[in-house]
Amino acid sequence: MERRKITVQTFLNMKGREKIAMLTAYDYPSALLVDAAGVDGILVGDSLGMVVLGYENTLKVTLADMLIHVAAVARARPKALLVADMPFMTYETGPRDALRAAAKLVRAGAEAVKPEGGQEIFDVVERLVKAGIPVMGHIGLNPQRVLALGGFKLVGKTEEQAKKIEEDARALQEAGAFALVIESVPAGVAKRVTESVKIPTICIGGGPHCDGQILVLHDVLGLSQRPPSFAKRYADIASAIRDAVGRYVDEVKRGVFPSPEYYKE
């Protein structure tokens, strides 16, 4: 049976019924693979700056970078919902800039966009939603604020911080967001947020009580240099690549490759 196309409405209907499984993907072949494996949503995350482009953090990722990767993933025509991150400083400057950036992401193939932040981006989220662009929120740890935070840390440890995260969640829901990513918070805080909103919550480093989970593909496959402690590695593709490339180099050096079945005289 052919898999149904997953939409924003599907995500909303899944809350309380079925857990949502999301992964990042940044290019055509990985999008084909994760989609065929059955993920509900693919995020073209600005984490590509770290795991693909080798930056220290996500701040150097530009809209031009994102457009290339979103278009590549969209060419896989995934059944999964295709969400694109809004990169640093494409929405903090206000709703008009946000609309312009989000429109480009949508034209590249995104079916929803994800800016980072809570109450402070209420106007941005509301304007995008009014324009017909679905918004996935991102609260808890916001990696685009790494300089102000002083590193990638667990947030929401004090009651004051936990309340702020809950207020952020409610504000984004009121602004029209259809789902929320909650990153790096104690499991109890993620549970409180999940129970206090009608839209699905999707956790990364937030424990098991959310409506879904998301991880970075390179962490799952064992391809990241510095994976976070909350990311489970499901495969060791780095070893498989090193082994395959090592054997290729060895065979070329020894004149074993190409053997007759790989060429014509």
* Closer by beta carbon to ligand KIV, 111 or else 183: 183
* Closer by beta carbon to ligand KIV, 125 or else 159: 125
Euclidean distance between CA atoms 178 and 198, whole angstroms: 9
Residue carrying the six token digits 């259809």: 178
183 is annotated as an active-site residue: yes
Cα angle 164, 156, 150 (rounded to 5 degrees) comes to 105
Least spacing, CB of residue 47 vs ligand KIV, in Å = 3
* Closer by beta carbon to ligand KIV, 229 or else 259: 229
Euclidean distance between CA atoms 69 and 217, whole angstroms: 14
46 binding ligand KIV? (CB under 6 A): yes
Least spacing, CB of residue 52 vs ligand KIV, in Å = 11
Euclidean distance between CA atoms 187 and 22, whole angstroms: 18
Euclidean distance between CA atoms 201 and 190, whole angstroms: 8
CA-to-CA separations, 192 to 21, 156, 265, in angstroms, rounded: 20, 11, 70
Residue nearest to ligand KIV (CB): 45
* Closer by beta carbon to ligand KIV, 103 or else 228: 228
Which listed residue (6, 20, 23, 24) binds ligand KIV by CB under 6 A?
Answer: 24
Smallest Cα–Cα separation from 180: which of 129, 142, 137? 137
Which DSSP string do the residues of 34-64 spell out, in sequence order?
A: HHHTT-SEEEE-TTHHHHTS--SSSTT--HH
> For 201, what's the count of Cα atoms within 13 Å in the CB-facing half-sphere?
30
Known binding residue 116? Answer is yes
Interface map 169-208 toward ligand KIV (x if CB under 6 A): ------------x-x--------------------x----
201-240 binders of ligand KIV (CB under 6 A)? 204, 214, 216
Euclidean distance between CA atoms 227 and 154, whole angstroms: 15
**Catalytic residue (one of 126, 167, 183, 251):** 183
Known binding residue 126? Answer is no
Which listed residue (30, 47, 90, 184) binds ligand KIV by CB under 6 A?
Answer: 47
* Closer by beta carbon to ligand KIV, 47 or else 173: 47
Least spacing, CB of residue 196 vs ligand KIV, in Å = 20
- Which residues are within 8 A (CB) of 229 and not within 5 positions of it... i.e. 6 or more apart? none
Binding positions for ligand KIV, rule: CB under 6 A: 24, 43, 45-47, 85, 181, 183, 204, 214, 216
Residue list for the binding site for 3-methyl-2-oxobutanoate: 46-47, 85, 114
Would you name the residues annotated as active-site residues? 183
